[in-house]
A and B are shown apart, each in its own frame.
Chain A
Amino acid sequence: MSNLVLDSASRWFGNVVAVNDVSLSIGPGVTGLLGPNGAGKTTLMAMMAGFLAPSAGHVTLDGQPVWRNTEIYRQIGLVPERELSFGYLTGRQFVRANADLHRLPDAAAATERILEEVDMVEPAGRRLDTYSKGMRQRVKIAAALVHQPSVLLLDEPFNGVDPRQRMHLMDLLRRLGDEGRTVLFSSHILEEVERLARHIEVVVSGRHAASGDFGAIRRLMTDRPVQYAVQSSDNRTLAAALMAEVSVRAVSIRGEHLDVQVDDLGSFAVRLPGLARQHDVTILELSPSDESLESVFAYLVAR
């Protein structure tokens, strides 16, 4: 049972702030670190894994600082996003080298046990450079787990992994979380995090934007106002009609389009067709104008 704690941790590179005053505590179970690309997830991961000094604040594992503390790796298993450059080794040799570096009393048995756990016994005799992305990811996880660490850190573990392998990896991580290990993985894909993590930390632009169980975060994300662009046969008539709706927060005319800001997505979608028919307006085009994940995150930050 281990707790990884960031206490007002910041990291800047020159005058670029990558991580800005983040405080959070990661405990046992699976936690997802969610954020768009470039949000500072990798920087946060590097600080938590002891491979980056915080510019300000502290990063500790069970009270011990992780930076320049070699002993910490008895407790931590790290799965970097970085590709394996040991292509000339077989999967078994690579995992075994990790076991040897930990000076495990029975490195050979530990290697076989963990290969079995990640379901890589059969291909373990082949060279790493013949592996698929999903296999390499599983071997990396095996290497990080061979010493049974209480904390497992994974940076974008599902990137480039095909859907079947992804399910497989998720089952594995879920099992590790259920065993009481502290498992933290980063991702920029909402659905991945939703399916796996019980607890979620959201970072946007280097700031800690939200924290909580998935239900709470999902509500935050779906309850936000949504922007639509509508084109119709009579924009002004439609605008007037829309403004009378409770779910509509703002309407503005922009050239050939109407920009509509909606508070309650569900009732707007139900009401719009009826409203158009009632006023004899034909809807020519309806498109969400800010559905990207970035805008969802931006909304969370602005709150």
Chain B
Amino acid sequence: MISPGEPVRTVFNPTIAKLALQALLGRRRFYLLLAFPVLLIGLVTLITVLADGDAAFEILPGLGYPLVLPLVAILAASSVLGPEVDDGSIVYLLSKPVSRYGVAISKWVVALGATLTAGALPILVAALITGDSTRALGLFVGAVVAGTTYSALFLAISAVTRHAVIASLMFVLIWESLLGNLFTGIAWLSIGQWGLRIGHEISSELPDPANLGYAIIASLLVTVVGVWFAGDRLRSFTLRGDE
């Protein structure tokens, strides 16, 4: 007999989100997360002062957007879920009548907030320092879209493997950066490129690597499926004994 309580709803769960935020702020990784935007803005400011022309802005599409943004998303997504899955202590959250999809959504919201704050926002600030506010806005919109998609993808990866950070890094460094620079076709399967394509609608200075409709739908799809998948993996969370 199951007592008829309130039905389990798949919604944002403030308690889970609060614990995720505490987990994010309470770990040493948080300082690493802070270091990225500080260094990025510092570097751009320095080069704006020292160099002529567009050298300072070039750091953003060259380093800030393709590297700092996804790295921040990896740190955020793996901090809200990874350690708890690794050491099994997520069982304290899951032995509750709480929708697993709700858990995934709540943790994703926290990871997203951190990614936008420590990844997308500093890109906007740095781009504004270099001048041209339209271009800065375009890049910011791209970073918001890509940051949203990245955090969902990396959350899903964190729910599947203990080597989430490595797997996510490989996706960013090898797939998107290395292979993406060699083969233009990879733009169709690159979260960063989808974001740029959407940002291109605001500022035509940004590249135009794929079809706009495709970029929007692909970003949306990866986000929704990523969060859903993380929830589904949590439904099947398996507690392994030490024996």
A residues contacting B by CB (< 8 A) are 2, 37-43, 46, 49-53, 62, 64, 68, 70-78, 80-86, 88-89, 97-98, 100-103, 143-144
Q: Please tell me if the beta carbons of A49 and B26 are within 8 angstroms of each other in the complex.
A: no
Q: Tell which of A2, A49, A70, A71 has the most Cβ of chain B within 10 Å.
A: A70
CB-nearest residue of chain B to A100: B15
The residue that B92 contacts in the complex, of A50, A72, A75, A143, with Cβ under 8 A, is A143
Give the number of chain B interface residues (Cβ < 8 Å): 37
Which residues B98-155 have CB closer than 8 A to chain A?
A: 98-100
Q: Please tell me if the beta carbons of A68 and B236 are within 8 angstroms of each other in the complex.
A: yes
Q: Please tell me if the beta carbons of A75 and B3 are within 8 angstroms of each other in the complex.
A: yes
Bound Cα distance from A97 to B83, whole angstroms: 19
Q: Please tell me if the beta carbons of A102 and B97 are within 8 angstroms of each other in the complex.
A: yes
Q: Please tell me if the beta carbons of B2 and A71 are within 8 angstroms of each other in the complex.
A: yes
A-B CB contact pairs (8 Å), 28 listed: A37-B243, A42-B241, A43-B243, A46-B238, A49-B95, A51-B94, A51-B239, A62-B2, A68-B235, A68-B236, A70-B97, A73-B97, A74-B2, A80-B88, A80-B92, A80-B239, A81-B241, A82-B88, A82-B89, A86-B19, A97-B19, A98-B92, A101-B13, A101-B15, A101-B96, A103-B5, A143-B92, A144-B95
Residues of A within 8 A of B15 (CB): 97, 100-101
Across the A-B interface, give the 8 residue pairs with the lowest CB-CB distance, nearest first. A42-B241, A51-B239, A85-B89, A101-B96, A78-B95, A100-B15, A46-B239, A88-B26
Bound Cα distance from A70 to B7, whole angstroms: 10
Residues of B within 8 A of A97 (CB): 15, 18-19
Residues of A within 8 A of B89 (CB): 82-86
Interchain nearest-CB distance for B23 vs A (Å): 8
Q: Please tell me if the beta carbons of A49 and B243 are within 8 angstroms of each other in the complex.
A: no
Q: Please tell me if the beta carbons of A78 and B243 are within 8 angstroms of each other in the complex.
A: no
Tell yes or no: B52 within 8 A of A by CB. Answer: no
Q: Tell which of B15, B83, B241, B242 has the most Cβ of chain A within 10 Å.
A: B241
The residue that A42 contacts in the complex, of B1, B18, B236, B242, with Cβ under 8 A, is B242
B residues contacting A by CB (< 8 A) are 1-3, 5-6, 8, 13, 15-16, 18-19, 22, 26, 83-84, 87-89, 91-100, 235-243
SS of B interface (majority): loop
Bound Cα distance from A207 to B1, whole angstroms: 29
Residues of A within 8 A of B84 (CB): 85
Bound Cα distance from A70 to B103, whole angstroms: 12
Interchain nearest-CB distance for B22 vs A (Å): 6
Bound Cα distance from A88 to B19, whole angstroms: 10
Residues of B within 8 A of A41 (CB): 241, 243
Residues of B within 8 A of A89 (CB): 22
Interchain nearest-CB distance for B224 vs A (Å): 21
SS of A interface (majority): loop
Q: Please tell me if the beta carbons of A88 and B96 are within 8 angstroms of each other in the complex.
A: no
Residues of A within 8 A of B13 (CB): 101
The residue that B91 contacts in the complex, of A38, A53, A62, A78, with Cβ under 8 A, is A78
Interchain nearest-CB distance for A199 vs B (Å): 22
The residue that B98 contacts in the complex, of A53, A77, A85, A101, with Cβ under 8 A, is A101
Bound Cα distance from A112 to B91, whole angstroms: 23
Bound Cα distance from A190 to B57, whole angstroms: 71
Also in contact, A53 and B96, with CB within 8 A (given A42-B241, A74-B3, A85-B83) = no
Also in contact, A80 and B2, with CB within 8 A (given A88-B22, A100-B15) = no
The residue that A51 contacts in the complex, of B2, B5, B237, with Cβ under 8 A, is B237
Bound Cα distance from A39 to B243, whole angstroms: 8
CB-nearest residue of chain A to B96: A101
Bound Cα distance from A67 to B178, whole angstroms: 43
Bound Cα distance from A83 to B88, whole angstroms: 9
Q: Please tell me if the beta carbons of A84 and B92 are within 8 angstroms of each other in the complex.
A: yes
Interchain nearest-CB distance for B187 vs A (Å): 38
Bound Cα distance from A80 to B90, whole angstroms: 11
CB-nearest residue of chain B to A44: B241
CB-nearest residue of chain B to A68: B235
Bound Cα distance from A276 to B239, whole angstroms: 56
Residues of B within 8 A of A50 (CB): 95
Interchain nearest-CB distance for A32 vs B (Å): 18
Residues of B within 8 A of A77 (CB): 95
Bound Cα distance from A89 to B6, whole angstroms: 27
A72-B2, A80-B91, A81-B241 provided; 11 other pairs, C-beta below 8 A?
A43-B241, A51-B94, A51-B238, A70-B98, A74-B5, A75-B3, A76-B95, A82-B87, A82-B88, A85-B87, A88-B26
Q: Please tell me if the beta carbons of B1 and A49 are within 8 angstroms of each other in the complex.
A: no
Q: Please tell me if the beta carbons of A52 and B239 are within 8 angstroms of each other in the complex.
A: yes
Residues of A within 8 A of B240 (CB): 46
